Amino acid sequence: MADPLARAAAFSRLVASPGPDPLIIAACRERALVTIGGSVAHAGLVSAVRAAIGAELPREPGGVVPAGHGWTIALGPAEWLYVAPARDGWAVERDLARVLALVGGQAIDVSHGRAMLRLGGAPARAVLAKGCPIDLSPRGLPSGRAAQTLFGKIGVLVHARERDAIELYVSRSYADALADGLLAAAREFGCRIGPAVID
């Protein structure tokens, strides 16, 4: 019997198309995504997170810091997203929730509700810029920074892992709509489907 909680594959409509300088699109898989909430004014919150995942909490929205085997992205003044490749979201939530409860914080596993794509190749930023209202140039969104924005009418979290490696986090219910929009935006460049990303 199939596991009723198993996640169906996101981005089911990704298809390659020929072109001179193709965009490379790859699904990101096997990552735990856990939101962390709490006030950094509480003396114990930062040290509790540091002890649990080995990371400081970035204070500026869009800030990204390494965190053990993953990274933490600042979503707002009192909210962060912890991304942990090859980890189980429920287990991470349990471990974080245990220490955060003592300092007025919380942790929520959102792994099942999000889908992730990596855009690579020279046209990655140009393709994304066709649907995003923010400055996606290397100066506007340098490597190691993130931003919450829209692609078309779809809310996305954009994380510049490297100059030409951009990751998108989106609600799973909008995954195929996002893929359709990206493929349309990439038509002049072409598109290649890369292997799944697990780091």
Amino acid 2: pLDDT:
41
Q: Which amino acid is at 69?
A: H
Superfamily of domain 23-29+113-193: Probable tRNA modification gtpase trme; domain 1 (3.30.1360.120)
Q: What is the full DSSP assignment across 109-156?
A: E-GGGEEEEEEESTTHHHHHHTT-SS--STTTS-TTEEEEEEETTEEE
Ranges in the chain, pLDDT < 50: 1-6
Compute the distance between CA of residue 118 and CA of residue 95 in angstroms, rounded to an integer.
28
Compute the distance between CA of residue 37 and CA of residue 68 in angstroms, rounded to an integer.
19
Amino acid 1: pLDDT:
39
CATH code of the region 31-111: 3.30.70.1520
Amino acid 15: pLDDT:
80
Q: Where are the domains of the chain?
A: 23-29+113-193, 31-111
What's the pLDDT tens digit per position in 161-181? 998 899 999 999 999 999 999
Q: Do the first three CATH levels of 23-29+113-193 and 31-111 match, i.e. the same topology?
A: no
- The total number of residues written for the chain in this structure: 199
Say how many C-beta atoms besides its own lie within 10 A of residue 192's C-beta. 17
Amino acid 129: pLDDT:
96
Amino acid 21: pLDDT:
84
Amino acid 6: pLDDT:
45
Amino acid 111: pLDDT:
94
